[in-house]
């Protein structure tokens, strides 16, 4: 038998009536895959994770990063009889007091098994009395408790204290897969995280332009992908060499169009990669108006070379909000290491804010982009983390 037990609550997945089995399977699998030594099962609208003592910290970390979960907490299990439940409740209450959670408490009971002889209210009263008798200095406060002891009467009785919030969203993979254009900046990892939260499995594509961009820039993107792998363990990184394409732009196009042509090329190459990898969409870290290449007109052109949906989840967010999320996800520190992105290196002195579509089309047509992009994609390096 395992030493430790986590009780997991899920949210939105339970609403998807017809798809529910698929979502639940994806959720169980997401946990199971990352906790191979544990037992993961579902029963009566809860998921249970049982593991050994030494695996408990890792299990808590995995649950913190599993999309689809609303909350999770460590629980103890007791036989469905009042003496055993009372003993367990008194023991847990003493441990909460020892951990400094406070003295004002409340017992909350959910009686899922309606055959249990006492009502929820009767159970709560009885457990409250027992805790007050056993643990000195406590006080029941049903309106503003400092901690809640939750009791669920199911196949057995489960007792737990304060829960940790899960990240919400949908299990990764149940919304299909997409290619994330991942640079070393702050925005694109956050964009990927937001789409993964809605169930999209990610493959990242980084466009590398050696020798203009350094090996460190590439390492940085690998490090960011590794952090994202905490949220989507199956993420891959495709490193696509774009130097020849960028050189062609600099040779043949007006300087002020450089960024837009480069970005359009990245989108086109990512689109081809997506088809090849059987992914259904692209994701970028663009945010409306943030820079010249992210105006309505600029995005209109850079997104015009592909036939897949492009998701830009940061479009309506301010930089401060994006930074707040980057800190929460754990990518901010890596993203702010000094680095050289090709978009910055080759950014024109006077970038176009309202590019003329006909001009841009003409410049694009003069690049013979598809030949160069096809060559670049032949040399893609795929990194599994
Ligand atoms: P980020 O912080 O993600 O770099 P940004 O605000 O710096 O974004 P840009 O550099 O203009 O914005 O890039 C816009 C988007 O284009 C990025 O969010 C990313 O999705 C994509 N992108 C830019 N450069 C690259 C690159 N070298 N490889 C892959 N994608 C890129
Ligand atoms: Mg950038």
Closest ligand to Cα 189: 1
Q: Give CA separation, 296 vs 182, 191, 322, in Å.
A: 21, 18, 20
* 281 in a structural domain: yes
The Å distance, Cα 184 to ligand 2 centre, comes to 6
- Residue 363, pLDDT score: 98
**What percentage of the chain carries pLDDT values higher than 90?**
89
pLDDT at 145 over 60: yes
**Which residues touch 43 (CB under 8 Å, ≥6 apart)?**
154, 155
Neighbours of 155 (CB within 10 A): 11
On whether both 229 and 105 belong to a single domain, the answer is no
Q: Is any atom of ligand 1 closer than 6 Å to the C-beta of 317?
A: no
286 lines ligand 1 (CB under 6 A): yes
* Same domain as 215, residue 103: no
- 84 with 232, same domain: the answer is no
* 166 pLDDT higher than 80: yes
Residues 6 or more apart in contact with residue 197 via CB below 8 angstroms: 67, 167, 168, 169, 170, 231
Integer Cα distance of 266 and 29 in angstroms: 33
Whole-number Å distance, alpha carbon 331 to ligand 1 midpoint, is 15
In a domain, 122, yes or no: yes
Which residues have CB atoms below 5 A from the ion given as ligand 2? 183, 185, 341
Same domain, 123 and 88: yes
What is the CATH classification number for the domain harbouring 61? Answer: 3.30.2130.30
In this model, does residue 16 exceed pLDDT 70?
Answer: no
Residues facing residue 43 across a β-bridge: 46
Task: State which of 183, 268, 336, 339 you would mutate to test the pocket of ligand 1, scoring each by most atoms of that ligand within 8 A of its C-beta.
Answer: 183
225 ligand 1 Cβ < 6 A: no
Residue 171 lies in a domain: no
* Cβ(181) – ligand 1 distance below 6 Å: yes
Closest Cα partner for 350 from 288, 259, 266? Answer: 259
Question: Has residue 170 been placed in a domain?
Answer: no
* pTM for the structure as a whole: 0.93
- Per-residue pLDDT reduced to its tens digit, 333-369: 999 998 777 767 788 888 899 999 999 999 999 999 9
Domain's final residue, options 165, 195, 223: 165
Helix (H) or strand (E) holding 74: strand 69-78
Task: Identify which ligand lies nearest to the alpha carbon of 212.
Answer: 1
For the stretch 173-182, pLDDT in tens is 999 999 999 9
Peptide bond just before 211 cis, omega within 30 deg: yes
Torsion sign (Cα): 225, 226, 229, 230:
negative
- Give percent of the chain with pLDDT exceeding 70: 98
Indicate the number of domains in the chain.
Answer: 2
- Looking at the structure, tell me whether residues 12 and 156 fall in a common domain: yes
What is each CA distance from 1 to 8, 51, 55, 144, in whole angstroms?
Answer: 19, 9, 14, 37
Same domain, 259 and 138: no
Residues 243/212, Cβ–Cβ less than 8 Å: yes
pLDDT at res. 14: 56
- Whether 277 contacts 179, CB under 8 Å: yes
Question: What does pLDDT average to over the chain?
Answer: 95
- Cβ of 331 closer than 6 Å to ligand 1, yes or no, is no
| Within a domain: 337 | yes
Report pLDDT digits (tens) over 254-278. 999 999 999 999 999 999 999 999 9
Compute CA distances 200 → 169, 175, 312, whole Å.
Answer: 10, 5, 13
Shared domain check, 121 and 30: yes
SS3 138: coil
Q: Any idea what the Cα angle at residue 56 is, between residues 52 and 62, rounded to 5°?
A: 125
In a domain, 378, yes or no: yes
Q: Ligand 1, atom 24: nearest CA belongs to which residue?
A: 183
Joined together, the tokens standing for residue 264 give 């359009």
Same domain, 258 and 347: yes
State which of 165, 188, 203 marks the end of a domain: 165
Q: How confident is the model at residue 23 (pLDDT cuts 50, 70, 90)?
A: confident
CB of 27 closer than 8 Å to CB of 62: no
d(CA 356, CA 148): 62
pLDDT at 340: 72
For residues 118 and 233, membership in a common domain is answered with no
- Of 165, 188, 212, the domain-final residue: 165
Q: What is the 3-state secondary structure (H, E, C) of the chain?
A: CCCEEEEEEECHHHHCCCCHHHHHHHHHHHHHHHCCCCEEEEECCEEEEEECHHHHHHHHHHHHCCCCEEEEEEEEEECCCHHHHHHHHHHHHHHHHHCCCCCEEEEEEEECCCCCCCCHHHHHHHHHHHHHHHCCCCEECCCCCCEEEEEEECCCEEEECCCEECCCCECCCCCCEEEEECCCCCHHHHHHHHHHHECCEEEEEEEECCCCCCHHHHHHHHHHHHHHHCCCCCCEEEEEECHHHHHHHHHHCCHHHHHHHHHHHHHHHHHHHHHHCCCCEEECCCCCCCCHHHCHHHHHHHCCCCCCCEECCCCCCCHHHHHHHHHHHCCHHHHCCCCCCHHHHCCCCCCCCCCCHHHHHHHHHCCCHHHHHHHHHHCCEEEEC
Residue with tokens 């964009």, as numbered in its chain: 191
Query: Are 149 and 208 contained in the same domain?
Result: no
Residue 172 in any domain: the answer is: no
Regarding whether 332 and 216 lie in a shared domain, the answer is yes
What CATH number should be reported for the domain holding residue 252?
Answer: 3.40.50.620
CB of 290 within 6 A of ligand 1: the answer is yes
């Amino acid at each position: 038998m395992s030493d430790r037990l986590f009780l997991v609550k899920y949210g939105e997945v339970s609403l998807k009536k017809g798809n529910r089995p698929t979502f639940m399977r994806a959720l169980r699998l997401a946990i199971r895959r990352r906790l191979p030594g544990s037992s993961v099962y579902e029963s009566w609208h809860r998921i249970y994770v049982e593991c050994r003592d030494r695996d408990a910290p890792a299990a808590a970390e995995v649950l913190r990063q599993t999309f689809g979960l609303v909350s999770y907490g460590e629980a103890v299990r007791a036989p469905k009889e009042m003496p055993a439940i009372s003993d367990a409740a008194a023991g847990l209450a003493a441990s909460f007091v020892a951990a400094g959670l406070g003295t004002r408490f409340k017992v909350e009971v959910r009686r899922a098994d309606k055959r249990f002889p006492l009502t929820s209210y009767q159970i709560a009263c009885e457990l409250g009395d027992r805790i007050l008798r056993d643990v000195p200095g406590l006080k029941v406060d049903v309106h503003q408790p400092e901690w809640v002891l939750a009791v669920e009467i199911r196949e057995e009785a489960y007792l737990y204290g304060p829960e940790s919030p899960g990240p919400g969203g949908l299990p990764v993979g149940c919304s299909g897969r997409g290619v994330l254009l991942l640079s070393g900046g702050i925005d694109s990892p956050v964009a990927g995280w937001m789409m993964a939260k809605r169930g999209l499995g990610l493959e990242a594509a980084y466009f590398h332009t050696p020798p203009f961009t350094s090996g460190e820039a590439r390492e940085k993107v690998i490090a960011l992908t590794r952090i994202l792998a905490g949220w989507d363990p199956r993420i891959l990184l495709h490193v696509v060499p774009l130097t020849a394409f960028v050189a062609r732009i600099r040779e043949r196009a007006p300087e002020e169009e450089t960024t837009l042509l480069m970005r359009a090329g990245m989108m086109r190459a990512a689109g081809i990669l997506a088809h090849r990898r059987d992914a259904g969409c692209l994701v970028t870290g663009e945010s409306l108006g943030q820079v010249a290449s992210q105006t309505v007109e600029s995005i209109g052109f850079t997104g015009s070379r592909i036939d897949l949906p492009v998701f830009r989840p940061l479009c309506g967010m301010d930089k401060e909000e994006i930074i707040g999320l980057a800190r929460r996800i754990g990518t901010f520190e890596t993203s702010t290491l000094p680095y050289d992105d090709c978009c910055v290196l080759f950014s024109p002195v006077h970038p176009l804010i309202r590019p003329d579509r006909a001009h841009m089309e003409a410049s694009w047509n003069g690049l013979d982009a598809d030949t160069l992009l096809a060559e670049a994609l032949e040399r893609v390096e795929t990194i599994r983390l």
